[in-house]
């Protein structure tokens, strides 16, 4: 673990100085505030150390200094890939960081991006949040769904991300979070989804008791498997085989053939609703399940039976996660906020309990009972509420947890010589840690406030360059109401015309996108044109002067068509006045006429309702017995 200095640098340097020397606009009159140092996980040094000293496995696979419990051996730390046979060294016992948004919502899903540089979290508000994978600071946030996001899955090719929400909507995303497709997958909430080994299909589990297989390219459901008698809560696709597993509220685990949609077998063992089913990704020989019966089980697919019975939780087991490197390390999250880590080849039987034997070591493995495994390490106070999701970093050195307490936490192994990590408030509680002096309640609150300020500052910095552009108003063709741009007239698509303000330097209006009948290049006039003599007779009876003939001079007292002078406009010399029918009424002076006018007599053109009478209101209150005494 290295540390990155967080002093004033760049455009942040003026934040602490704005209020210095006179208050300023920041409201802080004092010296510049020095920002704290943010812890950063630097796994590059460990990887380089391993690459420098590694050897072929038949030579021992590593020729460097062995790690010992001393601070001086921090430089000799190795990544999990360098010690495949030692899963105990990868157990995450140390709390790294707690990340939380400005507007807090329960975190339903956490997923590391394929390259491991960022962590993607999905909340119950339908938002995606990206956190930095080394500094754990905020990077960006976006509204991805209209309802709570329930499932996330990256494709094996790392080219696509699929998400599903509480309304049954499934969305396709590119790695840059560009939404390219949205389909209606189910009518009920989608609880889980997983990709096939070839990424051409994916499977979903929904509360409508169905498990569906979708064709990724077509975006349509290929087959629906309806063997469960209640809500389907979880599903997974084997990493290398054509095998699908699903868990339901009916306490059953079913294995399906994706080619035919036939149920291969039904596994019974849990006594309550299944919460998670997950294939082991390293060797692909085991299946882990968790349920609300306070237990988790590990099944061997070759024997099609349970081989490990995981105990230790006092309440429901809400989620599980396999380690990406060690196939014998399984982490579980409880509904009370506990985080347990199990080593499947070490039973860790507590005193007073009878040790059990593994089925592989018994005389008859097919009929021997499952071995009871107890946690190798417990973090009883990892979260305040239920842990909904766990996900390991692709390198296997950091575990991320998302909880109902609206916080995303990062965990890793302790460094050599660090023993205080087992006495922090996440292991023994706040009261015991405060009594031992490993945690200060007041200092913890101050640290939480500082972390929230840093997260808020990072969020504001991250959103500066992500402001959405202002949407341009939809323009219409002048003089033709309702005709929108980009309409297809005459077989071509018309570009939107430039906005024109009448009377303000518009110049010549743009040509109309269609020919006018009777004009040059336009359509011929219809065969039954209007009788102009009849129209002139009708205008004469109504008292309207007939229009002049084309090319003839205007009669006295008639203005050109469409020309109405503004009020109080002095006409030029020898210019005939407008007829009485076209005169514009003078504006109201002093705010009369029911218009909203300013004291200077400038009319704003907005009608305003009359103000309520205070005398009538006073009489109404006096009739009720109020305000009767004269002051």
Whole-number Å distance between alpha carbons of 286 and 303: 10
Task: Specify the pLDDT at position 255.
Answer: 96
Mean pLDDT of the chain: 79
The residue among 282 and 602 whose pLDDT is bigger is 282
**195 Cβ neighbours under 8 A, 6+ residues apart:** 153, 154, 155, 156, 162, 201, 202, 216, 237
Q: Which residues are paired to 410 by β-bridges? A: 97, 400
pLDDT tens for 179-209 read: 999 999 999 999 999 999 999 999 999 999 9
DSSP line for 63-108: -SPPP-SSGGGGGG---GGG-TT-GGGG---EEEEEE--SS---EE
Write a three-state SS string for 401-418: EEECCCCEEEEECCCCCC
* 553 confidence band (pLDDT: 50, 70, 90): low
- Is it the case that residue 404 has pLDDT exceeding 90? yes
Q: Which of 102, 80, 101 is nearest to 91 (CA)?
A: 80
Query: Is 627 in a helix, a strand, or coil?
Result: coil
Whole-number Å distance between alpha carbons of 226 and 211: 7
> For the whole model, what pTM was predicted?
0.68
C-alpha count within 13 angstroms, C-beta hemisphere, residue 338? 19
Whole-number Å distance between alpha carbons of 477 and 58: 79
- Is it the case that residue 78 has pLDDT exceeding 80? yes
- Is it the case that residue 406 has pLDDT exceeding 60? yes
Q: How many separate helices (H) and strands (E) can be counted in the chain? A: 6, 35
pLDDT tens for 344-397 read: 999 999 999 999 999 999 888 888 999 999 999 999 999 999 999 999 999 999
Task: Specify the pLDDT at position 627.
Answer: 73
Q: Tell me the percentage of the chain whose pLDDT exceeds 90.
A: 49
Residue 435 phi/psi, 5-degree rounding, is -70, -35
Per DSSP bridges, beta strands 2-4 and 38-40 are antiparallel
Most distant CA pair in the chain, distance: 123
Task: Specify the pLDDT at position 597.
Answer: 42
Task: Specify the pLDDT at position 436.
Answer: 83
109 membership: H or E segment, kind and range: strand 107-112
- Is it the case that residue 601 has pLDDT exceeding 50? no
The residue among 462 and 553 whose pLDDT is bigger is 553
Q: Which of 441, 414, 418, 417 is nearest to 429 (CA)?
A: 441
Whole-number Å distance between alpha carbons of 626 and 219: 70
Domains and CATH numbers, the chain: 2-81 (no CATH), 87-464 (2.130.10.10)
pLDDT tens for 81-135 read: 988 889 999 999 999 999 988 889 999 999 999 999 999 999 999 999 999 999 8
pLDDT tens for 603-623 read: 444 444 455 566 777 777 788
Whole-number Å distance between alpha carbons of 108 and 190: 13
Task: Specify the pLDDT at position 347.
Answer: 94
């Amino acid at each position: 673990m290295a540390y990155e200095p967080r002093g004033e640098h760049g455009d942040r340097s003026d934040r602490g100085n704005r209020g210095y020397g006179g208050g300023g606009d920041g409201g802080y009159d004092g010296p510049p505030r020095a920002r704290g140092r943010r812890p950063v996980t630097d796994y590059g040094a460990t990887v380089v150390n391993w690459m420098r000293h590694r050897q072929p496995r038949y030579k021992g696979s590593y020729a460097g200094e062995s790690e010992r419990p001393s601070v001086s051996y921090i430089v000799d730390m190795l990544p999990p890939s360098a010690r495949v046979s030692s899963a105990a060294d990868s157990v995450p016992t140390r709390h790294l960081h707690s990340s939380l948004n400005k507007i807090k919502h329960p975190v339903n899903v956490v997923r590391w991006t394929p390259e491991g540089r960022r962590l993607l979290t999905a909340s119950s508000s339908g938002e995606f949040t990206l956190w930095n994978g080394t500094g754990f600071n905020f990077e960006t946030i976006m509204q991805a769904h209209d309802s709570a996001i329930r499932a996330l899955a990256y494709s094996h090719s790392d080219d696509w991300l699929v998400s599903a929400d509480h309304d049954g909507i499934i969305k396709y995303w590119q790695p840059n979070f560009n939404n390219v497709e949205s389909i209606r997958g189910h009518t009920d909430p989608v609880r889980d989804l997983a990709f096939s080994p070839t990424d051409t299909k994916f499977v979903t589990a929904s509360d409508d008791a169905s498990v569906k297989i979708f064709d990724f390219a077509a975006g349509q459901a290929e087959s629906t498997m309806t063997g469960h008698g209640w809500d389907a809560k979880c599903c997974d696709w084997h990493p290398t085989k054509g095998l699908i597993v699903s868990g339901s509220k009916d306490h059953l685990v079913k294995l399906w053939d994706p080619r035919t949609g036939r149920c291969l077998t039904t596994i019974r063992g849990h006594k309550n609703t299944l919460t998670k089913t997950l294939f082991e990704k390293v060797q692909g020989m085991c299946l882990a399940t968790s349920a609300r019966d306070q237990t988790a089980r590990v099944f061997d697919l070759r024997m099609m039976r349970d081989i490990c019975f995981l105990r230790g939780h006092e309440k429901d087991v809400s989620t599980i996660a396999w380690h990406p490197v060690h196939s014998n390390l399984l982490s579980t999250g409880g509904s009370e906020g506990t985080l347990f880590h199990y080593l499947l080849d070490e039973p860790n039987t507590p005193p007073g309990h009878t040790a059990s034997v593994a089925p592989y070591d018994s005389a008859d493995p097919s009929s021997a009972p499952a071995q009871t495994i107890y946690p190798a390490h417990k973090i009883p106070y990892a979260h305040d509420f239920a842990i909904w999701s766990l996900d390991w970093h692709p390198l296997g050195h950091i575990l991320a947890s998302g909880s109902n307490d609206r916080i995303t936490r990062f965990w890793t192994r302790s460094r050599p010589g660090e023993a205080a990590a087992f006495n922090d408030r996440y292991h023994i509680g706040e009261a015991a840690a405060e009594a031992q002096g490993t945690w200060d309640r007041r200092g913890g609150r101050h640290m939480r406030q500082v972390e929230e300020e840093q997260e808020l500052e990072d969020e504001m910095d991250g959103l500066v360059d992500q402001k959405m552009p202002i949407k341009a108003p939809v323009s219409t063709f002048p003089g033709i109401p309702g005709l929108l741009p980009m309409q297809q007239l005459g077989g071509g698509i018309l570009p939107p015309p430039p906005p024109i303000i009448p009377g303000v330097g518009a110049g010549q209006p743009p040509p109309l996108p269609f020919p006018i009948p009777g004009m040059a290049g336009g359509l011929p006039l219809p065969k039954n044109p209007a009788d102009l003599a009849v129209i002139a007779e009708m205008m004469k009876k109504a008292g309207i002067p007939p229009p002049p003939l084309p090319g003839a001079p205007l009669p006295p007292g008639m203005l050109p068509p469409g020309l109405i002078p503004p009020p109080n406009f002095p006409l030029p010399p020898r210019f005939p006045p407008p007829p009485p029918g076209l005169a514009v009424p003078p504006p109201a002076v002093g705010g009369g006429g029911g218009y909203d006018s300013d004291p200077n007599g400038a009319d704003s053109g907005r009608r305003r309702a009359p103000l309520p009478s205070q005398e009538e209101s006073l009489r109404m209150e006096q009739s009720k017995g109020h305000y009767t005494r004269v002051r």
